[in-house]
Amino acid sequence: MKRFLVVESRDLTEYTSGTTLMSLVEGLGKSGDEVVLFLLENGVIAARKGADAGQGLSRLSDRGTRIFAEDVSCRARGIAALADGVRESSLDFLADAIAGGFDNIVWY
């Protein structure tokens, strides 16, 4: 099994490749690989509880993708509640994850 880290810093709802990224993450998960999606900066906007994109993230989480939203980015954007399956985390977690080793890191 391979391990993939996908980092998203752009708002998934505002650019045309947002759905492509979600499909990429879903496809990696379907192949049985471990996938971690880390949202920061404007990427956390998609993780708001009740948002359409947040529901898509919840579905990815239900299928095994581990999804994290960076805490400072959430506070800066007034996001108090995250979609089901999305956990708040820190940049320290991201740094530790990168240092821990992945087969591939994709940063958007």
- Write phi, then psi, for 24 (nearest 5 degrees): -60, -50
Give the pLDDT confidence score for residue 36 in this predicted structure.
96
pLDDT at site 82: 97
pLDDT in tens, 26-78: 998 888 889 999 999 999 999 999 888 888 899 999 999 999 999 999 999 99
- For 84-108, b/e burial (b = at least 16 CB within 10 A) is ebbebbeeebbeebeeeebeeeeee
Q: What is the pLDDT of residue 85?
A: 97
**Model confidence at 16: pLDDT above 70:** no
Q: Which domains does the chain have, with CATH numbers?
A: 3-107 (3.40.1260.10)
Q: Angle 57-42-60 (CA atoms, 0-180°, nearest 5)?
A: 10
pLDDT for 51 equals 86
